[in-house]
Structure formats: structure tokens, C-alpha cells
Amino acid sequence: MFSRTKEKKERALGERLQLKGHRCNSPKCAFVRKPHRPGMHGRKRQRGTVSDFGRQIREKQKFKLTYGVDERNLRRLFGLARKKVGSTAQKLVELLERRLDNVVFRLGFAPSRAAAHQLITHGHVLVNGKRVKSPAFSVAVGDVVAIRESSRAIAPVKDAVESLKTYSPPSWLALDAAPLTGRVVRLPDETAVTFDTNLLVESFSK
């Protein structure tokens, strides 16, 4: 039910957000099968011009759906980003990308952030050799993220091993596919996302 709700929100936004991993690149993707808005009149309703306020709200929804965070957590991260030196937009992206569930997803250990979230809460992920069960854990430069050796036989991880043969992570991460280990080599920046972070910042700055 939760997945279907997220897919409906994705269709309402009119943009594919890769919320369900590999399925999003297949004909089974809800956005491919039903590119129109959800609801009984969805096929007939055209996507009209959106106001500046509407664009801000829509961009915020994209971030919340993509990273799996709610309004409270997103606002908390914005507050932290605003206190840091430099661009608030860039610092906000950095904080979102440094979440452990995002890093596990970016390393290719899970097909989606939701799947990465589950791997972490079930105790399958190590950071610097220690088990971490908080998906919101923030990694730092030099941290080593790995899948527990005893967890490498479970189905989701075995599937990941196959996909990693042709996968390249973002440049701020280094991947050693054989032992399912990755390292944070530098902090991520705004190039990590395709969304308009400035619109998100504007929505929180009012």
C-alpha cells in the first residue's frame, strides 16, 4: 500500500523519481503504465502552468519522496545546512546524500533507498566495522561502508552482487565490489541531484 501511495505521488508530480529501483526502468513502472495524473479524471486533466509557490512545494515533495524523509526531518536538515558556511542549498544536498541509506543505495548495495533502509534496520550494514541500524546516520569522509559478511547470502544482497558488475558509483564514493565495501572519498555536492535545490531553500526561508 505504501509503495502504491508513493507511486501515485510520483505520477501527480509528473516526474519519474526511481522510487522502486530496477522496476522503475522496466515496463512495469507505474509511471510508464500510467503517465497521467492519478484519479478517475487523471487522463483528462492536463498539467497546467504552476505558480512559483506551487513549484516550491512540488520540489519539496520530490526531495521528501526521493530521500524518504518527512517534513520534520527535512526541516531539521535545512536548519543544520543554514548554520554551515557556504551555500545552504549545497549543504542541504550534502546532508541528504550523506545519510547512510542513501550511501548504501548510491554504492549499489540496494536497488532503492527504501531497500537500503531495510538492509540497515535489519542489521546488515557496517560502518567502519561496526553495525549501524540508523538509516539517518551521517557518514563522513574516510568512512568505510560494507555489507556484513554473514549477510551476503541473503537474496537482496546476492542480486546486488550481480548488478555491481556493470555499476559505477558517484565520484564521491569508491566501490570495491568483490567484498561489498565502499568508502566516502569526498563530500557530495549539488551535482549529486537533478532537482532545483534553490526552490526547496526558498520554500523553507519564508
List, for residues 17-74, the tens digit of each pLDDT value: 656 555 545 555 555 666 555 555 556 555 567 688 788 888 898 889 999 999 999 9
pTM, two decimals, is 0.78
Domains located in the chain, CATH noted: 2-42+50-95+194-204 (1.10.1050.10), 99-184 (3.10.290.10)
For 87, counting Cβ atoms within 10 Å of its Cβ (0-12 exposed, 13-18 middle, 19+ buried), the class is: middle
- Picking from 108, 104, 139, 142, the residue whose alpha carbon sits closest to that of residue 123 is 104
